Amino acid sequence: MREETVSHLSPNPDFLRHTVQANWRPSGSQGQFPITQNVTVVEGATANMTCRVDYNDNTSLQWSNPAQQTLFFGDKKALRDHRIELVRASWQELTIRISDVSLSDEGQYTCSLFTMPVKTTKAFLTVLGVPGRPEITGFTKPAMEGDVITLTCTTTGSKPAANIRWFRNDKEVQGSTKVNATGKSFTVRSSLQFQVDRQDDGVAYTCSVEHVSLTNPYMTTEVLEVHYAPHLEITHSLIIPQEGQYLKLECVSIGNPIPEPVLWSKDGGELPDIERMIVEGRELTITTLNKTDNGTYRCEASNHLGTSSAEYILFVYAKDFPGPTTDPNALGQHGPDHALIGGVVAVVVFITLCLIIVLGRYLARHKGTYLTHEAKGAEDAPDADTAIINAEGNHVHAEEKKEYFI
């Protein structure tokens, strides 16, 4: 017995009109035994059913469907079905064509060789159900930040059941899949449930349907729209604002919907000089800076989810000021490091006190040594009176030993 495998899978499902797979299955020994092949096609395509014999003594061949209805007896058509046509009929071969194949055509077909006794061979026709285009449901635009949403991707009509994969932008994420049988085909649903935040705004969720009948997966995409409260920041055009220059402040806003309008204020009140302080949209431009412009500038904007603000502390330096090495506005916003300054002062005071104490002890030590030498000899006296006499005697030379410290 010999077995042969043939593959005829078309790369485009819309043009699948050929046999997908065939396995030759001879029955019995060589001679007058029919040889058939199993056939696999995609729903809507065309299936060719072939029955051959290596040796035939003018005996007729016949094809029957799974219901044992005769389709063709030799070159004679027996069943009225416009989809079934004769391709080739001879003593060695009987080939028929079934066009526009449906799932109901699937089953076991029989080729009969009318000898005595009749010899038969089976061929199984497998029909693949093409999955329908996927649809994503469950999302109503827009979502609010913090909402929990469920995306469901559905495809119908596949056989065998299709496989669904999810992608968040280009990264695959896992969904929960359910498969339901509908007649001979299957309906497949896959769901994703998650809580959205501002990072999900504009993110694309793609449902990909894979199936043996498809060369390339079917895909559909849902782009999320998430609304969230605003966040503001102020950018400035000058690192060291100086008198006579112009300064541009921009209120950069992040939020959905875009927060507007942007309101500017200074030190909690209105802008004091509208001729030099020009507001255009989100920008505030101050021309010809001077010391009176010093202060805290604030921008504020809102959407239906909330209000946000940002502040900028402006300090205008003299025109000839060389400028610090760092952004003075940053120092103005954060303030000097008082702890560091206090620590340096404490170290300096401590070192000064230590020097004073050491110097004092040094002077005291040398003064005591001088007086002791002045009274030299008293320490060897046997009694107090002798010690006094010795000390007085030494005073005779006191003028010679006297030293002066300046």
pLDDT 10s per residue in the chain (406 long)?
333 333 333 333 333 333 333 333 443 334 578 999 999 999 999 999 999 998 877 788 999 999 999 999 999 999 989 999 999 999 899 999 999 999 999 999 999 998 888 999 999 999 999 999 999 999 988 999 999 999 999 999 999 999 999 999 999 999 999 999 988 999 999 999 999 999 999 999 999 999 999 999 999 999 999 999 999 999 999 999 999 999 999 999 999 999 989 999 999 999 999 899 999 989 999 999 999 999 999 999 999 999 999 999 999 998 877 655 445 444 444 444 556 677 778 888 888 888 888 887 777 776 544 444 445 554 555 554 554 455 445 444 444 444 444 4
CA dist., res. 278 & res. 291, Å (int): 18
Residue-range domains of the chain with CATH? 34-128 (2.60.40.10), 135-224 (2.60.40.10), 229-314 (2.60.40.10)
Can you say whether residue 58 is alpha, beta or left, with left for phi > 0 and alpha for psi between -120 and 50 degrees? left
| Separation between Cα atoms, residue 106 and residue 39, nearest integer Å | 10
Full-model pTM? 0.63
| SS3 of 41-110 | EECCCCEEEEEECCCCCCCCEEEECCCCCEEEECCEECCCCCCEEEEEECCCEEEEEECCCCHHHCEEEE
Biggest CA-to-CA distance, the chain: 168
Distance CA 132, CA 121 (A): 35
CA dist., res. 403 & res. 406, Å (int): 10
- Non-local (6+) Cβ contacts of 226 within 8 A are 142, 143, 144, 145, 196, 197, 198, 200, 201, 256
CB atoms within 10 A of CB 315: 14
Give first-to-last CA distance, the chain, whole Å: 131
Task: Give the C-alpha separation, 284 to 269, whole Å.
Answer: 15
Count CB-CB contacts under 10 A for residue 291: 10
The SS3 call for residue 305 is coil
**Cis status, amide bond into 382, omega within 30 of 0:** no
